Amino acid sequence: MWDYHVHSSFSDDCHVEMETIIKKGITLGIKEICFTDHIDYEAAIPNVIIEFDNVDYSKEITRLQKIYKDKISIKKGVEMGFQPHILDKCNKFILDGDFDFILCSLHTVENKDVYLGDLLKDNSPKEAYQKYFSELFYCIEKGAVFSVLAHFDLLKRHVDYPFDRVFKDNFDIIESIFKKIIYNGRGLEVNTSGFRYNLNSPLPSKDLLTFYKELGGEIITLGSDSHGDNTLGYRFAYTYELLKDIGFKYLTTFDKMQPHFIKIP
């Protein structure tokens, strides 16, 4: 297994040390873990600062790579919370950071928190999805530096809004986003946290993954979105079968931001 969305105590919302997570990954037979701890400048959560020191982060990953090099591969990533007005700041952190892999996330839209559902307090589901996709497309168009888009349909964690309506309301911009990332050599994350939120599917859903594949998309990573050691590789075996059913033959791993393809087991 290759788990490319893993948080540790360097993330504000996780309290489990990297080494504990790595040891659990080894017992599970995971081949490669990519730590993707949070950076969310100007997050719309009162009194919360979501940042980490990249020097300390790098030192700890390097230390653990040396200790466990014969048992598991460990990659250095980040889950960057992009917003249109801080693109340059986000990109500078990434370009200065010597990362293997970057998840592009939108946790804040129009200064309203997406993860906690605040975006839906002042917007209808239709409006919330439109604003979410519009800001995501803007960030992509204006040069956000990333490897794959994280949990593309994140909003469905917080609102019960039929997929066919989401797709109909936002078809043009979803198509534009997918075509743009395909053209730029970037991809989609398949995030299995959807199963933990009782959505009966990963994020994005099978329909969106199928549409991405039909447009020519090939770059996909698999991530558990673990915030600890108890959900590593969660529902990966099922998701492998789902991806093969859609027509995907390969998963993608990254080294120094360069993609490498591995046949889906």
Q: Which pairing describes strands 148-149 and 187-191: parallel, antiparallel, or unpaired?
A: parallel
Residues 6+ apart with CB under 8 A from 236: 1, 3, 192, 222, 224
160 pLDDT tier (thresholds 50, 70, 90): confident
- CATH 3.20.20.140 fits domain 2-263: yes
Distance CA 17, CA 72 (A): 16
Residue 17, token pair as written in the block = 């040390």
Q: CB neighbours (10 Å) of residue 163?
A: 15
Q: Which residues lie across from 74 on neighbouring strands?
A: 33
| pLDDT-based confidence at residue 198 (cuts at 50, 70, 90) | confident
List, for residues 67-114, the tens digit of each pLDDT value. Answer: 999 999 999 999 999 999 999 999 999 999 999 999 999 999 998 988
Q: pLDDT class for 163, splitting at 50, 70, 90?
A: confident
Percent over 70 (pLDDT), the chain: 100
Instruction: Tally the C-alpha atoms within 13 A of residue 7's C-alpha that lie toward its C-beta.
Output: 23
pLDDT at residue 46 above 80? Answer: no
Average pLDDT rounded to a whole number, residues 22-27: 97
What would the pLDDT profile of 206-262 be if each residue is shown by its tens digit?
Answer: 999 999 999 999 999 999 999 989 999 999 999 999 999 999 999 999 999 999 999
Distance spanning both ends of the chain, measured CA to CA = 9
CB neighbour class for 169 (10 Å; exposed up to 12, middle 13-18, buried from 19): middle
Give the pLDDT mean for 133-152. 97
> For residue 164, what pLDDT is reported?
85
- Predicted TM-score (pTM) of this structure: 0.96
Provide the pLDDT confidence category of residue 116 given band limits of 50, 70 and 90.
Answer: confident
